Amino acid sequence: MPSLSVVIITYNEECKIKKCIEAVTWADEIIVVDSFSTDRTREIAREYTDLVYQNAWEGFAKQRTYGMNQASGDWILFLDADEYVTDALQNKLKELLEDYSPFHAFKLHRVEHFLGFPLHYGTLNPSYQPRLLCKGKGYWTGGAHAHIEVADELMGLIHEDLFHDSHNTITDFITRINYYTTVDAQDRIQQGQRVGKMRLIFSPIGMAWKSFIVKHGYRDGFPGLLFSIGMGIYSFLRLVKVWQLNNEASSKNHHID
């Protein structure tokens, strides 16, 4: 039977790493690639595996490639520390290892968790993330949104759930919104976006509407509503940042009265 290696990349994940590893102890080997955590991440990981490496962070793709190069398995499952393999997914993966697969890589169905509640609908869903690769049949590439490079027809889908425990608190969610809107706003400026009052009012409402109604966020109940409004706030903050960048550029020579 082909073997499975799990590659987990970490940075200061002492709170989450245990749960992540414990969900994959059935695999043939576990490799942890840490980018110099300053907390107990490595210490905790060593309780489960000897294969704990340190490698300076150079992006998702490079970090996972580093881990892949340490792996001896035929298949490699790539995880982030805030991702947990469910029992259903475990069974599916075992099944897959037993059979011959025509695919070289797989995207896994990831269920986002928001404030501890699963979100099955809304803007983020359905979410399929490349996480499983037959060693030597493809490679990682890309920046913030890294992906596995294989031919489309060789990329399979697995519908069993991979849990993603990303936004534990609202404070954490807002910190991320703040970070990503700044990055996004700079992109929009490059595209020449202009912002006026109408857009400031209606774009965020449209964004929340899309997540809550069009993408059925209401089915996730109250957390779905919070998340959808959060998407509206995201849209608003991005527009305000674009507006401010435009404004600064055009009023450099004017005085404030």
Partner 1 sequence: MSLSIIIITKNEEAQIKDCLESVRFADEIILVDSGSTDKTLSIARAYATRIIETDWKGYSGTKMIALEAATGDWILWLDADERVQPSLQEEIQEVTKTEGVTGYYIARKAIFLGRWIKHCGWYPGYVIRLFKKEGARFSENMVHESVYIDGPTAHLKSPLIHYTDTSLDHYFIKFNKYTTLAARELFQSNYSFHLTDLIGRPIYSFVKMYIIKRGFLDGVQGLILCILSACYVFTKYAKLWHYREQNKTKE
Closest CA to 107 of 159, 163, 157: 157
Contact range with partner 1 by CB under 8 A, out of 6-14, 20-28, 87-95, 163-171:
163-171
**C-beta of 91 vs 182, nearer to partner 1:** 182
* Cα separation, 127 vs 147, whole angstroms: 13
Q: Which two tokens stand for residue 53?
A: 């490496």
* Cα separation, 164 vs 87, whole angstroms: 14
**What is the nearest approach in angstroms of partner 1 to the Cβ of residue 200?**
6
5 SS3 class: strand
**C-beta of 12 vs 246, nearer to partner 1:** 246
Closest CA to 123 of 216, 203, 237: 216
* Cα separation, 137 vs 116, whole angstroms: 36
**C-beta of 156 vs 223, nearer to partner 1:** 223
Contact range with partner 1 by CB under 8 A, out of 15-23, 86-94, 100-108, 167-175:
167-175
Helices (H), 85-169: 87-98
How big is the chain, counted in residues?
A: 257
Q: Of the candidates 25, 36, 72, 170, which one interacts with partner 1 according to CB under 8 A?
A: 170
148 is a contact residue toward partner 1 (CB under 8 A): no
Query: CA distances (Å), 57 to each of 16, 35, 54, 121, 240, in order?
Result: 19, 5, 9, 32, 31
Q: Of the candidates 88, 97, 154, 229, which one interacts with partner 1 according to CB under 8 A?
A: 229
Q: Of the candidates 54, 72, 91, 169, which one interacts with partner 1 according to CB under 8 A?
A: 169
212 is a contact residue toward partner 1 (CB under 8 A): no
Binding site for partner 1 (CB under 8 A): 115-116, 169-171, 174-175, 177-178, 182, 196-197, 200-201, 204, 222, 226, 229, 233, 236-237, 240-241, 243-244, 247, 251, 256-257
